[in-house]
Amino acid sequence: MLRLEARPQPSKLMSLLSPVLALVLTAILAALLFVALGKDPAKGLGIFFVEPLSNLRQFSEVLLKATPLITIALGLAVCYRSNVWNIGAEGQFLLGVLSGGGVALWLTSSGIVLPKIVAVPLVLAAGVLGGMAWASITALLRDKFNASEILVSLMLVYVAQQLVNYMVFGPWKDPAGFNFPQTKNFDASTWLPNLLGGTRLHIGFLIALVLVGLTWMFMFRLFRGYQLQVGGLAPAAARYAGFSASTSLWTALLISGGLAGLAGGMEAIGSFKQITPHVSTGLGFTAIIVCFVGRLHPVGIIFAGLLLSMMIIGGELGQSRLGLPNALTGVFQGLLLVLLLACDTLIHYRVRVRSALAGAH
Amino acid sequence: MDQLPLLIAATLASGTPLALAGLGLLINEKAGVLNLGAEGMMLVAAIAGFAAAFTTGSDTLAFVAGAAAGGLLAAAFGALVIWLNTNQYATGLAVSLFGYGFSAFVGVGYVGQKLSERTPFEIPGLSQIPFIGPALFRHHPMVYIAIALIAAAVWFLYRSRAGLVLRAVGESPESAHALGYKVRWIRLMAVVAGGALCGVAGAFLSVVYAPLWVEGLVAGRGWIALALTTFATWRPVRVLLGAYLFGGVTMAQFALQGAGVNFSSQLLAMLPYIATIVVLAIISRNPTWIRINMPASLGKPFHPGT
């Protein structure tokens, strides 16, 4: 019989091995699913885990998709380390799309052509502010009304989605757009500069990498970052040390809201270049998985972001080449997180085999 | 005024899945388990129920399939959080994300299919009373079953021995363990029962309420049901009343549009979610009140022998 025995100390090695183990288990289940669907499992796995890295064009798409995932997940890592359960990053992302994209649209509509060096930061700053404003609703209700941040942040995702719909069906609809629910295309002067000729990759990826460094500094080198994590691990100790729980809550939510909003702004002028009802693709939820697979660590989040992005691109390839349903990506993502959490048990526990003989004593 | 009975009827119908799921989550939480996977369980059950109704034409089988799907996913969730001591927040969230993806995947072939409108069950005699009849006595049987289940839950939780044990496990698992109760098995049973109720709620949505399947059909009702347990300060009857209140808010948007109020349908669609936030904030405002009513070990893992 198998028995769990608590380790004296959490295992560092297992903490790193657990995502690898979870990925292997996900791949095994994926292969079984391909067989059940009547597809060649080797070919299926190849599409998801090899093909996206096989040539420069696909790889640049992986980096492009990883950009918002990494940016959002960094903020979530700060939140979860502080024990603040913000699960509404998707809503904060959408507000970033609306506020950043709104500025780009305003510049376009009023015919103002600014140099990129002014226009792009303006749009991105608006995105950050939009995300922060949305997250601060959650912070306010948690702080002053004791309302669960889990439920409030999530409810606000649905509100944000309707807000996007309202804007593109109403005030922001392109008058020359044949009544389609979409805005005008943003003027090229507001677009994020391209990073690699012949691909869609933009400098947002570099911004995300810089943010990885900054988040690392905040978490492990700044006193405020330390305060936040103590508050998350041992609230009583933090109170005793005089760290304000309310300040931590606001800091965590403003950082994660700001980063999700920035990701929204970058997507608005990097990928979409207009706003449609389809800007909500669940990246804010996928980023939660990125955050856990990346062990709530900025460096881990880079790898996890690339992995989850690869699965998204793989899903699109699987749809076009093998006729697989696109929803398969969601199944694999969900499985990966469930299996990861199961494997994480090995960080805190050892599996012991208890023989029948020992049990008799 | 002819609209009013229909509006009341629609409110009861739209509150029913919230009441069923809210009751399921209440049972989970009374046993000390916080289940953030409700949305995913409802989605998987919704497509299971829809597929069953579509192929067999039987509502009963659809509800059985929904309950089985919800219960199965809940069993997996329970095994993770109760035996492997995984984080309840993260695991529930993972189950919701998985449920979303899995239901979308299974449901691909059913998008755009429609079931026939369910004929309501007319209670003989009562349904003929003017005004009250069409408002209260012409519903799908599940609407009445939901009310009966709430009544049964009141009896079970507060009048039966098993219910007392369940609450003890949620208040103080250590004491229950010391008295010789199998805390983890009791929690697992509560989780599976709660998941099955979420499953019935999901099947009701896709088979009776919609009646069709689209990706993400549940549209946050699992999360609203979760908020309901807090509104209701963990009392079954208040879960039912809260569910009808939210059913009413959902219906109010259609009523306003029907009445020709010139207001954007997208903004009106925000109403149930905003109402959830507002009520949650008002109810949670007094931390002492919440602490007194909340099961004391809610969300805390229990590992015997440590």
Domain boundaries, chain B: 3-112+122-293
Which pLDDT value is given to residue A351? 85
Q: Give the chain A residue nearest B87 (alpha carbons).
A: A341
The answer to whether B277 and A147 have CB atoms below 8 angstroms apart is: yes
B225 at the A interface (CB within 8 A)?
no
pLDDT of residue B120: 80
Mean pLDDT in residue range A250-272: 97
pLDDT at A356: 54
Q: Which of B139, B186, B147, B134 has its CA nearest to residue B297?
A: B186
Residue B254 — pLDDT band, cuts 50, 70, 90? confident
State the nearest Cα–Cα gap between A262 and chain B, in angstroms.
24
B positions 17-56 inside 8 Å of A (CB): 36, 40
pLDDT at residue A330, rounded to an integer? 92
Report the percent of chain B where pLDDT is more than 70.
Answer: 99
Phi then psi for A231, rounded to 5 degrees? -60, -35
- Is pLDDT of A213 > 80? yes
- Domain map of chain A by residue range? 68-298
Residue from B130, B26, B34 nearest B82 by CA: B34
A interface mutation test: which of B273, B288, B289, B302 has the most A CBs within 10 A? Answer: B273
Segments in A268-343 forming alpha helices (H): 283-293, 298-322, 328-343
Residue A47, token pair as written in the block: 């599409």
CA distance B162 to chain A (A): 28
Across the interface, whether the CB atoms of B86 and A348 are under 8 A apart is answered no
Nearest to B98 among A166, A169, A335 (CB): A335
Q: Which of A94-103, B124-133, B220-229 has the lowest mean pLDDT?
A: B124-133
Q: Is the pLDDT of residue B305 over 70?
A: no
Q: What is the mean pLDDT of residues A130-144?
A: 97
Which of B91, B267, B286 lies at the smallest CB-CB distance from A162?
B267
Q: Which residues pair with B139 in a beta bridge?
A: B121
Whole-angstrom distance, CA of residue B277 vs CA of residue B262: 25
pLDDT at A202 exceeding the cut of 90: yes
If you average pLDDT over every residue of chain A, what do you get?
Answer: 93
Please tell me the predicted confidence (pLDDT) of residue B255.
Answer: 80
Between the alpha carbon of residue B141 and those of residues B13, B148, B208, B238, the distances in Å are 10, 11, 10, 21
Using the beta-carbon criterion (under 8 Å), do A162 and B100 form an inter-chain contact?
no
| CA torsion, ordered B216, A34, A314, A158, to nearest 10 deg | 10
A354 has a pLDDT exceeding 80: no
Residues whose CB falls within 8 Å of the CB of residue A190, separated by 6 or more in sequence, listed in order? A103, A104, A107, A108, A114, A116, A119, A120, A123, A269
Q: Is the pLDDT of residue B17 over 70?
A: yes
The string of pLDDT tens digits covering residues B72-109 is 999 999 999 999 989 999 999 999 999 999 999 999 99
pLDDT at A359 over 50: no
pLDDT at A100: 98
- In a mutational test of the B interface, the residue from A29, A341, A350 whose CB has the highest number of chain B CBs within 10 Å is A341
> What would the mean pLDDT of B152-166 be, rounded to a whole number?
96
Residue A268 pLDDT more than 80?
yes
Task: Specify the fold of B3-112+122-293.
Answer: ABC transporter involved in vitamin B12 uptake, BtuC (1.10.3470)
Contact A135, A92 (CB under 8 A): yes
| 3-class SS of residue A259 | helix
Confidence of residue A357 (pLDDT cuts 50, 70, 90): low
Looking at residues B135-153, what average pLDDT do you find? 93
User: Distance of CA A298 to CAs A135, A217, A253, B94, Å?
Assistant: 21, 10, 17, 21
pLDDT at residue B306 greater than cutoff 70: no
Residues A317 and A313: their CA atoms lie apart, in Å, by 6
